[in-house]
Amino acid sequence: MFETLPLYLTFVGASVALLAVALLAYTLITPYREWALIRQGNSAAATSMGGTAIGMAIALSSVARGTYAVAELLMWGGVALACQLLVFVAVCFLLPGFRQGIEADKLGYGVTLGTLSIAMGILNAGALSV
């Protein structure tokens, strides 16, 4: 019954590590301090960060369902991360003043980035499950 437990633990561990790396990378490329803003109650920052986390988790889940190789999970997780970072860059380009909007807690900015990040996660999941 528990013969697959080591594989499960390996994949959960790798997925959590990838998610942590993704959120670290995200916080390094954004021009504002998400964690500080979230601690201050900034809903826009929390929504954008949450959407990115959900988008990554959706993509990682799809990869994990389709492989038994942790190396594949890591590789495709890296691709999914790159896509998430591109979403951030695109939103910054499409919404001038994005940084100021997030810092001013304009929820529309956070919801836009969060939902587009989730959408990218769903698209990644579909493409990664082929």
10-residue mean pLDDT profile of the chain (130 residues): values are: 89 95 94 96 98 96 90 93 96 96 98 98 89
What is the C-alpha to C-alpha distance for residues 5 and 34, in angstroms, rounded to an integer? 35
Counted domains in the chain: 1
- The 10s digit of each residue's pLDDT in 20-31 is 999 999 999 999
Contact 11, 64 (CB under 8 A): yes
Percentages (nearest 5) of helix, strand, coil residues in the chain: 85, 0, 15
In a domain, 1, yes or no: no
For residue 88, the enclosing domain spans: 7-128
- The 10s digit of each residue's pLDDT in 32-58 is 999 999 999 999 999 999 999 999 999
In a domain, 91, yes or no: yes
In a domain, 92, yes or no: yes
User: What is the distance between the terminal CA atoms of the chain, rounded to a whole angstrom?
Assistant: 29
pTM of the predicted model over 0.85 = yes
In a domain, 76, yes or no: yes
Contact 109, 95 (CB under 8 A): yes
In a domain, 112, yes or no: yes
In a domain, 2, yes or no: no
